[in-house]
Chains A and B, each alone.
Chain A
Amino acid sequence: MDAPKVKIYGLVAEFTTPTQIVDAANQAREAGYTAMEAYTPFPVVDLHEAVGFKRTMLPTLAFFGGLTGFCTAFSLETFTSGGAPSFITPFLPDWFYYPLNIGGRPLNSWPAFIPPEFELTVLFASITSVVGMLLLNGYPRIYHPLFNVPRFSMVTSDRFFLCIEARDSKFDLQGTKQFLEGLQPYEVSEVPE
């Protein structure tokens, strides 16, 4: 193993059809590679499983986001309206207690509190989904080593790329290159870090 002059991020193979990229990812996984990722212009069904990714925790996050939204609205409305049970009320700060007595109607009018509760549940769950998706994916990240490969710009048009990263324990510049060539790609290129 001779150390290359430029640090290498990985090797990337270019394919022209979705079927090819799924087959290539399956073979790479079966060959024992773990640190790899397939890049496509549109979501390809089950490709994430082919590269060895199971499932995302996003729905769980969104559920708890929604729950937080509901609890926020519920406590905000109930506590400020003076609708909290009497063992809680003495502990509320002055600025968080504003009972409105209108015609003797109950302070804890929970049915009227439902619309804001619903809206905040939806709002918090949506924000969690979107922000969670971006952060789990590592975005925003404007620069990435892959952008050093000129042909990689076609990933947003009609080309499919499989990248085996140098941090993979099985990675070996020559051997991995030969392996990728064996998958009949359009081209294999090195990705400088």
Chain B
Amino acid sequence: MATEVSPKGPNLRPDPQPPMVEGKYNFDSMTEKIAGVIFAATPKGWIVGFAIAFMILQVLLVSVTYLIYEGIGIWGVNIPVGWGFDIVNFVWWIGIGHAGTLISAILLLFNQTWRTSINRFAEAMTLFAVACAGLYPLAHMGRPWFAYWLLPYPNTMQLWPQFRSPLEWDVFAVSTYFSVSLMYWYIGLVPDFASVRDRAPNQLLRMFYGILSLGWRGGSMHWHRYETAYLMLAGLSTPLVLSVHTIISFDFAVSNLPGWHATIFPPYFVAGAVYSGFAMVINLAVPIRHYYGMKDFITDKHLDNMAKVMLATGLMVFYGYGVEAFMAYYSANEFERDLMMKNRVFGPYGYFYFALIFCNGLVPQILWFQKIRSNEAALFIISLIVNIGMWLERFVILMSLQRDFLPSSWGQYSPTFWDISTYIGTFGLFLSLLFLFCRILPMISIAEMKHLLPESHVHSHKDSHDHSDSAHGGSH
């Protein structure tokens, strides 16, 4: 029956792309492979890794506790640099999150099936990165217990927030981004929770995953509504992710400061966010596929595709640096020019500017070579360099504040011990959450992966059902 072609038309079995799953799998062995990780014995490497991440998390705990006790005077921020490590790291972490949404939403809309095996942990990465980012504005407030004052709510003081301020836009953008990402991630997980529930070795685990799965049964109407909702969320997240980093760039671009007040900021912030995000996805995908034996699902082709996206967004960012310099020159404005040359390129942190050009502009160019893109060690190192470069970019932008317009008000910013320990601590939070995620949740989407198997396609009607063909045709 397999070779038979219906007389009414060609055999419409779609298989135009190279397979994104290597090795021989069927529905059951695929489920077992992914869900099996959860019920297998805890790997030794996981225990060591989680222990280290958890220790680093304590650094954050101590840093934030001391910050709340003492006030933000423990940080290096002061006039004229009122924003230091806190906003650099805020923007950096949020940017990393953006690749998760790009992979899960935009690539879904573009029908890129290779996203399927990486979208789950990329979305997890988004959530954890946004959680790290969200800490910074709260901590920077000095009195984080009044954080709810940022929200518009009727209060006895009869005050309302300033809705014209980019910092208030941030509140809306980041909280919406986190909520929508969380919902997107969760409903993606629901059918997989059901898979895990049905494989649970004991009653307690079955109840735990059963509650998380909300009782999912996989009815065809359920799937229809589910797919509709999933697609709509993808459509909504796509402009959302662009808006979030645009609004974050407004924190800078809406001010009147030379070097910040530029229309190039929103697009190049978004490109930079995707750039660093993909670098982080590679940094996570390489060890995960290695240690969990997932090379059949996260193939070399995936790494190759991600490297290409990284190269493309890297070129956009590099172009952004060029435009920035050109606009400073072409504006014929002495403040713009001074800022660019005397403050950024040859200023007190000038060597950071050159390091950033090296990390973000030059190093990724070797991704043009197929040999490099298929070498996971090289990709891992390049991605690390890109992440460092994107951190430097935000740092260099912030350091514009050091040179005020009167030399008498110049100042020098340098991070204190607590700035650095808070930054290191957020890695502890990020990695601890990731380790927990890999341990207790299915790290690859089981239901979606099954779509990649050829046996998931419904074959054209068998000849023995001629009568059903005619009746069925009408319902389309």
Contact = CB atoms under 8 A, between A and B. Distances in A.
Interface of A: 17-19, 22-23, 25-27, 30, 37-51, 53, 55-56, 58-59, 62, 73, 76-77, 80-81, 94-96, 98, 100, 109, 112-113, 115-116, 118-120, 122-123, 125-127, 129-130, 132-134, 136-137, 139-144, 146, 153-158
Contacts, number: 218
Interface in B207-256: 210-211, 214-229, 232-233, 236-237, 239-240, 243, 247, 250
Interface of B: 26-28, 31-32, 152, 154-155, 158-160, 162-164, 168-169, 172-173, 176, 179-180, 183-184, 186-187, 191, 194-195, 197-199, 210-211, 214-229, 232-233, 236-237, 239-240, 243, 247, 250, 447-448, 450-451, 455-459, 461-462, 465, 468, 471-472, 475-476
A25 B232 CA distance: 27
Contacts of B199: 157
Given A17-B455, A115-B243, A122-B180, A158 B31 contact: yes
A157 B28 contact: yes
B27 A41 contact: yes
Contact of A122 (B168, B236, B459): B236
A37 B468 contact: no
B152 A80 contact: yes
- The CB with the most chain A CB atoms within 10 A, among B218, B227, B459, is that of B218
A123 B183 CA distance: 10
A62 B240 CA distance: 16
B105 to A, nearest CB: 11
- The CB with the most chain A CB atoms within 10 A, among B155, B176, B225, B457, is that of B225
A126 B220 contact: no
Given A112-B163, A157-B31, A127 B176 contact: no
Contacts of A23: 461-462, 465, 468
A48 B221 contact: yes
Given A37-B220, A41-B450, A155-B218, A26 B152 contact: no
A44 B27 contact: no
A48 B224 contact: yes
A53 B220 contact: yes
A21 B229 CA distance: 24
Contact of B176 (A94, A122, A143): A122
Given A58-B225, A139-B214, A39 B176 contact: no
Contact of A98 (B26, B159, B169, B222): B159
A48 B229 contact: no
Nearest to B465: A23
B197 A156 contact: yes
Nearest to A20: B458
29 contacts: A18-B455, A26-B465, A26-B472, A27-B468, A37-B219, A41-B218, A42-B448, A43-B447, A46-B476, A53-B220, A59-B228, A59-B232, A80-B152, A81-B163, A98-B158, A118-B239, A119-B240, A120-B176, A125-B232, A125-B236, A126-B183, A126-B184, A129-B228, A134-B187, A136-B225, A137-B219, A140-B211, A157-B28, A157-B198
Contact of B198 (A25, A55, A109, A156): A156
Contact of B158 (A94, A112, A136, A158): A94
7 tightest CB-CB pairs across the interface, nearest first? A158-B27, A133-B229, A43-B223, A112-B164, A140-B214, A153-B198, A48-B224
B224 A53 contact: yes
A96 B160 CA distance: 8
